[in-house]
Copies of this chain bind each other. A is one copy, B any other.
């Protein structure tokens, strides 16, 4: 049978673990802290239903919704991005600097199409987002991890690795990072943007969680400090509107957006117009502010319950990150416990999580004793039950 392309050889290992985890979650009895899904109770089902019933008619926007669209996205949604999402972060954007994409991963994919040749190096956080690494591997890039601490990427290590590896790109999730839940400090954001400009390296800033802040003060994005256009700001509507609608956006210099337009055309022509219209109406009817408060209230409670469970149910020697927002916390078990192996025990006990090993790449120690715990998709009572189960599984290995 015809040989697959070289890039496919890099995909296998990660995909298998994710697929196993995905399969395990189809059991309704299993309480899963494994995925990255937001609360189903936080999805704007009623708003979307009402909007669809009103606007998807032939008199209003039904024809536009079902006909071909423009690769750059519909103007109303791009305008909503400029006014409702970028401006509140202090980001001044013109309409031609915003391209709508089919979700957060697609934004990363298109930016990789623009910049990555096989063998190019991309610096990432340690740990980093597993699905982003899948994208980078597909482009046959070499991912090198940089050191992180409680305040995110350690800039000195990034500088050293730029000198050592001459990377094309630095990938960072500065706020409520996936998987660690950590946030990059203000000073480091500024330093990272300047480093991108000085070293002529693209900073790919992925920011899907920043709006989900439950405590502490909002910080400006890395992009805010970018003077030269080296930082590209990629984002998703998955956490603030809905994952299933597959919407995201990229904000960058207009010259870059023009190239993204070409890459988008050769990837899937354009993003589906149906959900673009539903989402644009959601913003333009002024529903977003109250909905975001609702989402944050739901997830804040889950964060609080989860952190209390970690404190009270898990053994004292276990470390965790207290996240000021987002969907994740990160747990470190004693070094002798391999969380990839432990997952099979956990699934047998009807609880799941994401093994930490998947989030590490070369350049920093690969740590087998960590796990990502996603609290967003589980109701508080089930967080309690699930953490009882997980505590039981962990204690059996101590």
Contact = CB atoms under 8 A, between A and B. Distances in A.
A266 B45 contact: no
Interface stretch (A133-141, A150-158, A307-315, A348-356): A133-141
A97 interface: no
A43 interface: yes
Contact of A66 (B69, B115, B243, B265): B243
A94 interface: no
Contacts of A104: 269
9 smallest beta-carbon distances between A and B, as pairs: A66-B242, A244-B273, A106-B268, A45-B62, A246-B272, A52-B52, A138-B266, A53-B53, A43-B66
Contacts of A7: 113, 117
Nearest to A4: B114
Contacts of A398: none
Interface in A1-43: 1-8, 11-12, 15, 18, 22, 35-37, 40, 43
A265 B67 contact: no
23 contacts: A1-B230, A8-B263, A18-B265, A36-B68, A37-B68, A45-B56, A45-B63, A46-B58, A48-B56, A65-B244, A66-B245, A67-B244, A68-B238, A68-B243, A102-B102, A103-B269, A109-B267, A113-B138, A131-B266, A244-B273, A245-B274, A272-B274, A274-B274
B244 A69 contact: yes
Contacts of A12: 262
Contacts of A52: 49, 52-53, 56
